Structure 1
Amino acid sequence: MSETFSAGVLLYRGSSPAVEVLLGHMGGPFWARKDAGAWTLPKGEYDPETEDAQVAAAREFAEELGLPVPEGPWTPLGAVRYRSGRNRKNLAAWAVRGELDPAAIVPGTFDLEWPPRSGTITAFPELDRVAWFDLATAHEKLGSGPRPLLDRLREHLQGAAD
């Protein structure tokens, strides 16, 4: 089993209990007809030997959405470790309060042979759509591995309100 390292940004707006987070629906033919568990926060892989996780999170946000991370303080949410297929993933994430219009995104793309074994390489968006969700709905949409990040954000915001 291989191990990968990813870093991402959980963009949020509002205040507790009316918080919304920005999630992206994973692009490509595998995810096209899926909804529950098919959404993610903007994130991507990095090499912890050569790149800082927070720098990677900002880079991946910009690559996946075509926009920079909105200005504001970065709140560390820590890391989660989970399995994804044959891989073990380590995802470090930060929460950033900010606004972003989903219609303004210009998603990055990836190439995939599609249909399989056709010899045809097709470009697909990394995220085919982006939307704001309240925390309960985001919990349903987000894959199981990153879900603890939503709880950490909720705890952080409740602690900040006390």
Structure 2
Amino acid sequence: MSPIAPLGTAMSPQTPSVRISTPDLMAVISAGLLMYRMRSGPEILLAHYGGPYWIKKDKGAWGIPKGQAESGEKSLEDLLQVAKREFEEETSFEPRGDFEYLTTIERSDGKKVHVWVFEGDADLSKFKSNTIVMEWPPRSGRKIEIPEVDKGAFFRLEEAKEKIIPYQLGILATFEEWIKKKVV
């Protein structure tokens, strides 16, 4: 049985940014990668959101590298490619390893995020994100270019729970259960 329902049903993918339509649902689909490394315990790579809104925030200002799918990217295989592409765009690191589907979470606005997990490591001194254009200040009509994320860091699980944006806490809870089974 598939871990998610087919696209076009109420349980549509959350992470990649693909708009799908059903009689009463429009959802954005995103996909992301949770990279971890083992030290004395698992450490998770999180990315700090870029731009003026997030610059002085720390708690709740981090997340896994992820992004929206294009309209033709609908299958789990497509979404894994979206997750890999977005990871590389946001970190400059090419994700390599064995990717295992971890979970799908749904935000309160209906956006869904599909997440894969893999073990890896990175030299964070080489961390570099792509840039995006945003309006700042809000409703000003002024556009600025910012890094999508401005830094990355590895965190032990308990610290990651403090840093991560609240809607992604379910990803960490699922990872915590997953890693317990893997390490045993």
Q: For the residues of structure 2 that align with 1:118 and 1:147, how far apart are their CA atoms? A: 33
Alignment partner of 1:35 is 2:58: yes
Between structures 1 and 2, the one with greater strand share: 1
- AA aligned opposite 1:93: V
Alignment partner of 1:142 is 2:164: yes
Task: Give the TM-score normalised by the residue count of structure 1.
Answer: 0.88
Cα gap change, 1:32/1:2 in structure 2, threshold over 3 Å: closer, same or farther? farther
What does residue 107 of structure 1 align with? 129
Shift of 1:116: 4.4
1:11-31 residue CA offsets vs partner (Å, 9 max, x unmatched): 00006x711000011001111
Shift of 1:121: 2.5
Shift of 1:118: 5.2
Alignment partner of 1:73 is 2:95: no
Q: For the residues of structure 2 that align with 1:117 and 1:82, how far apart are their CA atoms? A: 24
Q: What SS does the corresponding residue of 2:57 show, helix, strand or coil?
A: coil
Superposed CA RMSD: 1.9
Cα gap change, 1:152/1:116 in structure 2, threshold over 3 Å: closer, same or farther? closer
Q: What SS does the corresponding residue of 1:147 show, helix, strand or coil?
A: helix
1:14-55 residue CA offsets vs partner (Å, 9 max, x unmatched): 06x711000011001111111111101000011464341101
Task: Give the TM-score normalised by the residue count of structure 2.
Answer: 0.78
- Equivalent of residue 125 in structure 1, options 138, 147, 152: 147
What does residue 54 of structure 1 align with? 80
Gaps of 5+ in 1: none
Asked whether the equivalents of residues 91 and 146 of structure 1 are also in contact (C-alpha less than 8 Å), the reply is no
Asked whether the equivalents of residues 42 and 64 of structure 1 are also in contact (C-alpha less than 8 Å), the reply is yes
Shift of 1:117: 5.4
Identity fraction in percent: 34
Shift of 1:66: 1.7
Larger displacement relative to structure 2 (93-102 or 144-153): 144-153
Asked whether the equivalents of residues 23 and 132 of structure 1 are also in contact (C-alpha less than 8 Å), the reply is yes
- AA aligned opposite 2:177: E
Gaps of 5+ in 2: 1-24
Asked whether the equivalents of residues 65 and 105 of structure 1 are also in contact (C-alpha less than 8 Å), the reply is yes
- AA aligned opposite 2:48: H
